[in-house]
Structure 1
Amino acid sequence: MLSQPLMDWQNTGDFFDYQQHRIFYKTSGAGSPLLLIHGFPSASWDWQPMWAALSAKFRLITADMLGFGLSDKPKYFDYTIAAQADLYEMLLSIQGVETAHILAHDYGDTVAQELLARHNLGQLSFHIESVTFLNGGLFPETHRPLLVQKLLMSPVGGWIARLMTKQKLMANFQRICSSKMTCDDIALLWELLTHHEGRAVMPKLICYMKERKQFRSRWVGALQETDVPLHLIDGLIDPISGAHLVERFRELVPNGCVSELAGIGHYPQVEAPEEVCQAFQSALAEAASLSTSK
C-alpha cells in the first residue's frame, strides 16, 4: 500500500518548535496552500500515497501533531484538540500562509472542526477556503470506536498501551481497511507509533473521543453555521465511520458535498489515493463554479 521509505519522508521534512517541543513538518509543491491533517494513531506519512499528485497542483503543508509520528511525545502534556489546532495555526503563520484549503482525516477531522469554529467566529489567523473530511467522528453519536480505543480511554488504558504489539496493530488495521496492509506497511506504522515511546501517550491522545462529546455543540455547530464549502469523502465499509456517517452528514449538513467510495474502509487516502484525489479536486472545482455563479 505505502511505498516511500520513512527515512526519505523524514529527510525531506523539517522541525519547528511548539511549546518547547519539536514538531516534524513537511511542505512541497506550489499553488493554493493545502493543509493536510492526519488521524489517530498514525502520522502525516498517511498522505504519502497522494503526495505527488496533490503537490502538482497545491502547496502542501502537513505535520505530525504533538504526540504523533516523528514529533515529540511529552508524557505530561495536556493533549487537547485546541492545542493541536494552535500547533497548525503556528505552522501556517511560520509558513506565511494567509489562506488555505484543509484536507483532514479521523482525529484530524476534529482538529479541522475546531479550526473551522475559530474561522466562523473571526478568531483564526488564516482564512479557510474549503474543508474536506475523510472518515472520522464528525458527530459523536455516529462514531463507533474499536474495542481497543475504548480500553485505551478506560482506567486500564496505560496497561493496554503497554501490551500493544505490531501484530495487534496489524489485526486492527485489517479490521478497518478494505485491503490488507503488508508486513512492511505495518512495520513502518509501528515505527512511527513507538518513536519517542509513543505508546505511553496513547491513553492521553485518545481522550479526544471525550472532547467530541464535551464540545459537540461547538464542533457540529461549526459545520452547520459556516459559509465555507464542506466536502466529505467517505469509505463506506469502514466500521468506525462509514456509510452511517454519510447518512448523518447529509441530515445535519445538507449543503455539504459528499463523495462515497464503495468497497473502501477507514483510510481512503491510503486504500484509494487516486479516487480520493479525483473526488477532492472535483469538489473544489464544483465549489469554485458555484462561487463564481453567485
Structure 2
Amino acid sequence: MSELPGIALDAWRGQSQALDFGGHAIRYWVAGDAEAEPLLLIHGFPTASWDWHRLWAPLAGRYRLIACDMLGFGYSAKPRGHAYSLLEQADLQQALLAHIGERRPVHVLAHDYGDSVAQELIARHQEGRLQLASCVFLNGGLFPETHHPVRVQKLLLGPLGPLIGRLFSRRKLAQSFARIFGPQSQASEEELDALWQLIQCNNGPAVMHRLIRYMPERRQQRERWVTAMQATAVPMRVIDGAFDPISGAHMVARYRELIAGADTVLLDGIGHYPQLEAPSQVLEHYLQFRARQEMPCSAEPS
C-alpha cells in the first residue's frame, strides 16, 4: 500500500468541534457517514488525536469516526490543579458518544495511554455499562509488568515532576521520540513541530506531571482490566511496532501468555507510534481484522 498523506495540523484544528465536559472545553472530531459503523479513536500520551491524521481519511471512507483530545491533551482544556484519571477519560469518551447521539455498539482503535482508557471501556462493557463491538490496541502498556517507561516519564512521576514538566521542550520531545520510533521511520521535523504545538497548547507542559499519574493508576486497575479482557467476547487485536522499547515485542509476548486465542500483529522495525510510522500497514491490518469480524459463519462441511 502507498504511504498515506495525512492532514495538516491547521486544517485538522479547523475541523474540530466543542464539547463541555464538567466545565472543561473539549475539542472533538467526527467524520464519515453517520449511518456507517461507529469507530472511536483514542490517542496516547503526551500527544493528541492528530496522531490519527494519516488514517483519518481512509477510515472515514468506511466508518463513522469519532475522536477527541482528552482532558489535559492537545487542543482541549488543561486545568492546572486537576486530578487527571484514566477512569475520568473513559467517562469523557462515553460523554462524547452521548453528545453526538451515538447509541450503537462502538468499535475502538486505541494507542498508548488510550489503550488503558480502552481497557476501562472493556471492563465497563463486561459490567453492562456500555456496548463495544471490537477493540484494536496499538503500542501501549496493557500490562504494568511489561511497561518500560522512558526516563522523562519516570522523572515526571518523582518529586521534581512539576519542574521536569515545565522544562520539557521541543528539543526534549525530539530526543525522546528518536529513541522510541523505529530507525527507518523517524518523525520528520514537520511532524515534531506539530506534535510539540499540540503539547504546548494551553500550557500543557505544566500539567504533564499530573497526567503521568496514569502509570500508578494502571497498576491499581490491572486485575480488573486483565480479567475483563480474558473474559470478554469482544473481538480484540494488537497491532504493535516490535522495535518499541516501551511496549514493543516484549508486551506482545505477555499478551499472548495472558489472552486466549490472542490475535496479534508485529510490525518489524516499527516503534511506538505505528499510526505515524507505518500508517499503511496499520490500515491494512486494521481492515483485515474488521473484514474477519464481518465474515458470515462458514457453513458446516457436507
Equivalent position of 1:84 in the other structure: 89
> Which of 6, 9, 16 is equivalent to 2:9?
6
Residues 1:194 and 2:197 are matched in the alignment: no
Cα deviation, residue 4, structure 1? 2.7
Q: Show structure 2 runs of 5+ residues with no match.
A: none
Cα deviation, residue 2, structure 1? 7.3
Equivalent position of 2:256 in the other structure: 250
Equivalent position of 2:136 in the other structure: 132
Equivalent position of 1:54 in the other structure: 59
With 65-74 and 95-104 compared, the bigger mean Cα shift is at 95-104
CA contact (8 A) 2:72 2:207 kept: yes
Residues 1:22 and 2:25 are matched in the alignment: yes
> Which of 103, 109, 117 is equivalent to 2:115?
109
Cα deviation, residue 291, structure 1? 5.8
CA contact (8 A) 1:28 1:59 kept: yes
> Which of 204, 210, 225 is equivalent to 2:216?
210
> Which of 149, 157, 167 is equivalent to 1:145?
149
CA contact (8 A) 1:2 1:270 kept: no
Q: Show structure 1 runs of 5+ residues with no match.
A: none
Distance in structure 1 (CA, Å) of the matches to 2:69 and 2:39: 15
Cα deviation, residue 222, structure 1? 1.6
Distance in structure 2 (CA, Å) of the matches to 1:107 and 1:290: 34
Q: Structure 1 vs Structure 2: percent identity of aligned residues?
A: 49
Q: Deviations over 1:25-75 (max 9, x none)?
A: 001012110000000000000000111110110110000000000000001
Cα deviation, residue 180, structure 1? 1.9
Helix, strand or coil for the counterpart of 1:227?
A: coil
Distance in structure 2 (CA, Å) of the matches to 1:288 and 1:190: 39
Equivalent position of 1:230 in the other structure: 236
CA contact (8 A) 1:37 1:63 kept: yes
Cα deviation, residue 221, structure 1? 1.3
Distance in structure 2 (CA, Å) of the matches to 1:244 and 1:290: 34
Cα deviation, residue 254, structure 1? 2.1
TM-score (norm. length: structure 2)? 0.94
Helix, strand or coil for the counterpart of 2:50?
A: helix
Helix, strand or coil for the counterpart of 1:102?
A: strand
CA contact (8 A) 1:246 1:258 kept: yes
Distance in structure 2 (CA, Å) of the matches to 1:105 and 1:256: 18
Distance in structure 2 (CA, Å) of the matches to 1:7 and 1:160: 28
> Which of 75, 78, 88 is equivalent to 1:73?
78
Distance in structure 2 (CA, Å) of the matches to 1:18 and 1:277: 31
Residues 1:180 and 2:186 are matched in the alignment: yes
CA contact (8 A) 1:229 1:256 kept: no
What RMSD over aligned residues (CA atoms) do the two structures have, in Å?
Answer: 1.5
Distance in structure 2 (CA, Å) of the matches to 1:46 and 1:176: 15
Count of residue pairs brought into register by the alignment: 292
Residues 1:33 and 2:49 are matched in the alignment: no
Q: Given residue 20 of structure 1, which amino acid in structure 2 is its aligned partner?
A: G
